[in-house]
């Protein structure tokens, strides 16, 4: 036998039991996006390295040490996307979506960062991204936060809280940057190697450091809030008023700077106390300068990215629901005539009850072994069809959970009988929309 090939570090397989949780999150998110008029976009996983260098910034963790970058066959440098915003804005510019237009979009998919893998931090991980471009805010800033809040609400997620801050304009930030540079220069001996490099390149990035030895020094640094320009302050106050009016609780965290260079004004992060140090579950902000930085016409924009692994961990931690995927009914088909008639009947029931999940036993094995599998499948009912049943034109329905009598059911009545036995929830489907109506 050959040697088994293991997956790469930080890259996970998602098995069916796990996928149920992801489907639930994705179903709810898609539903909420449709409620607010956000439309889906899909962009490539691989882009020119230059895109991320220019968009995310040279002095960020991502560009300095986390990108999966390699040369393609033509010798050009390409990078697996570490985040979606740069690609989405590149696509918006490439496809003429930014000039005098407004769009609200979302995308869902994998991102790649060469980080040290740990719980809630992987090398391939998934994000749900929402972006609105062509809007100055602050109304759209508030709406985007409401979209994320509604996703929590529909999933039933508690133990998340919202932190917000304003980074001001690039001009007001320049003044602050010099104040920070002076402060950290005075304490240069206490800085680590990363921070010393950032002191020259972009001292704001020092605030984003995860080195605990620097925490006290960072806590005593000058505050960006004291350097905000009047228009940014007004924008921030208006956002807070919108959130207050919508009943969304938040705290202003003047130290929140976010890991990417392209943000301006509004930044926010949903954090949880349930996942240890990987506490950010959804982060976002306004990036009014990005589109021009990428060669497009000036287009104000804002977006957020939700880390799906972390939200799924949180759903599991909180004991929330995953998508139901166990079969409602399991068809036990004993004998060649039953195998053929059974498949046909299962198709008829699927036509009549599209939301019902039916698993058919395709092994052609003995009835006892099939019953074992029926039980193990988690189905509520077994529909048994043997040669006798085919001859009589009538199946046996046997409850597998919660008692109840076995009963005969003519083939012609099968769909109706299953609908009444299994109940309306299954027959209506169990998507996010029904849940939403129920609240
Ligand atoms: P962190 O501070 O935890 O490194 P970040 O600031 O790098 O997060 P963003 O670039 O804003 O994160 O990405 C948005 C969201 O994606 C984060 O809030 C988090 O939920 C998730 N995320 C980021 N990096 C990873 C990763 N390596 N593995 C899993 N999820 C991640
Ligand atoms: Mg990070």
DSSP string, 337-357: HHHHHHHHHHHHHHHH-TT--
Q: What is the pTM of this model?
A: 0.90
Closest CA to 285 of 247, 253, 310: 253
- Given a contact cutoff of 8 angstroms between Cβ atoms, the answer to whether 299 and 264 are in contact is no
* Closest ligand 1 atom number to CA of residue 123: 27
Please tell me the residue having the least CA distance from ligand 1 atom 15.
Answer: 307
**Residue with CA closest to ligand 1 atom 8:** 280
Q: How far is Cα 230 from Cα 135, in angstroms, rounded to an integer?
A: 19
* Nearest listed ligand to the Cα of residue 261: 1
Q: What is the pLDDT of residue 260?
A: 65
| pLDDT by 10s per residue, the chain, length 439 | 899 999 999 999 999 999 999 999 999 999 999 999 999 999 999 999 999 999 998 878 899 899 999 999 999 999 999 999 999 999 999 999 998 899 999 999 999 999 999 999 999 999 999 999 999 989 999 999 999 999 999 999 999 999 999 999 888 888 888 999 999 999 999 999 989 988 988 888 898 888 899 999 998 999 888 889 999 999 999 999 999 999 999 999 988 877 666 788 999 999 999 998 899 999 999 999 999 999 999 999 999 999 999 999 999 999 998 998 999 999 999 999 999 999 999 999 999 999 999 999 999 889 999 999 999 999 999 999 999 999 999 999 999 987 788 999 999 999 999 999 998 556 555 454 444 433 3
- Structure tokens that stand for 397 in this block: 């329905």
Domain(s) of CATH 3.30.930.10: residues in the chain: 16-168+228-317
| Rounded distance between C-alpha atoms, residue 165 and residue 214, angstroms | 21
Span(s) in the chain for CATH 3.40.50.800? 329-438
pLDDT of residue 174: 85
CA distances from 96 to 102, 129, 134, 154, 288 (A): 11, 20, 13, 35, 17
Q: What is the whole-number distance in angstroms between the Cα of residue 416 and the centre of ligand 2? A: 53
**pLDDT score recorded for residue 128:** 98
* CATH, range 16-168+228-317: 3.30.930.10
Tokens of 223: 């505050």
Pair of tokens at residue 160: 């998340």
Give residue 121's pLDDT: 96
CATH for 329-438 is: 3.40.50.800
Write the CB contacts of 234 (distance below 8 Å, at least 6 apart in sequence): none
Please give all residues whose beta carbon lies within 6 A of any atom in ligand 1, as ranges: 83, 113, 115, 120-122, 125, 127, 259, 278, 280-283, 305, 307, 309-310
One DSSP character per residue, 163-228 reads: EEEE---HHHHHHHHHHHHHHHHHTGGG--HHHHHHHHH-GGGGGG---GGGHHHHHTSPPGGGG-
* Gap from CA of 279 to ligand 2 centroid (Å): 11
Ligand approaching nearest to the C-alpha of 260: 1
Question: How far does the centroid of ligand 1 lie from the alpha carbon of residue 81, in Å?
Answer: 13
């Amino acid at each position: 036998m050959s040697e088994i090939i293991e997956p790469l570090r930080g890259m996970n397989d998602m098995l069916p039991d796990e996928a149920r949780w992801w489907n639930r999150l994705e179903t709810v998110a898609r539903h909420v996006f449709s409620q607010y008029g956000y439309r889906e976009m899909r962009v490539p996983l691989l882009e020119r390295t230059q895109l991320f260098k220019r968009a995310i910034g040279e002095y960020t963790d991502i560009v300095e040490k986390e990108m999966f970058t390699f040369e393609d066959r033509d010798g050009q440098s390409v990078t697996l996307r570490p985040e979606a915003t740069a690609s989405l804005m590149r696509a918006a510019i490439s496809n003429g979506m930014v000039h005098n237009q407004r769009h609200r979009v979302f995308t869902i998919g994998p991102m790649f960062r060469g980080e040290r893998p740990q719980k809630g931090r992987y090398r391939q991980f998934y994000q749900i991204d929402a972006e609105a471009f062509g809007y100055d805010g602050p109304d759209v800033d508030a709406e985007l936060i409401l979209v994320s809040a509604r996703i929590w609400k529909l999933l039933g997620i508690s133990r998340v809280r919202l932190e917000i801050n304003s980074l001001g304009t690039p001009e007001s930030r320049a003044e602050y940057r010099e104040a920070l540079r002076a402060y950290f220069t005075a304490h240069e001996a206490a800085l680590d190697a990363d921070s010393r490099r950032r002191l020259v390149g972009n001292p704001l990035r020092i605030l984003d450091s995860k080195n605990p030895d620097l925490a006290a020094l960072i806590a005593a640094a000058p505050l960006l809030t004291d350097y905000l320009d009047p228009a940014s302050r007004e924008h921030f106050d208006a956002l807070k008023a919108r959130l207050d009016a919508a009943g969304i609780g938040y705290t202003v965290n003047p130290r929140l700077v976010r890991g990417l260079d392209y943000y301006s004004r509004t930044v926010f992060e949903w954090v949880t106390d349930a996942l240890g140090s990987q506490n950010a579950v959804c982060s976002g902000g306004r990036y009014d300068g990005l589109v021009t930085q990428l060669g497009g016409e000036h287009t104000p924009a804002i977006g957020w990215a939700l880390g799906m692994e972390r939200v799924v961990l949180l759903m599991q931690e909180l004991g929330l629901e995953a998508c139901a995927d166990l079969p409602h009914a399991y068809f036990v088909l004993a004998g060649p005539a039953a195998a053929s008639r059974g498949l046909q009947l299962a198709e008829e029931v699927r036509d009549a009850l599209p939301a019902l999940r039916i698993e058919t036993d395709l092994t052609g094995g003995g009835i006892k072994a099939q019953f074992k599998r029926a039980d193990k499948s988690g189905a509520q009912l077994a529909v048994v069809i043997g040669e006798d049943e085919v001859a009589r034109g009538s199946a046996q329905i046997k409850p597998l959970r919660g008692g109840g009598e076995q009963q005969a059911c003519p083939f012609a009545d099968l769909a109706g009988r299953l609908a009444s036995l299994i109940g309306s929830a299954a027959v209506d489907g169990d998507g996010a929309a029904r849940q939403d109506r129920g609240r």
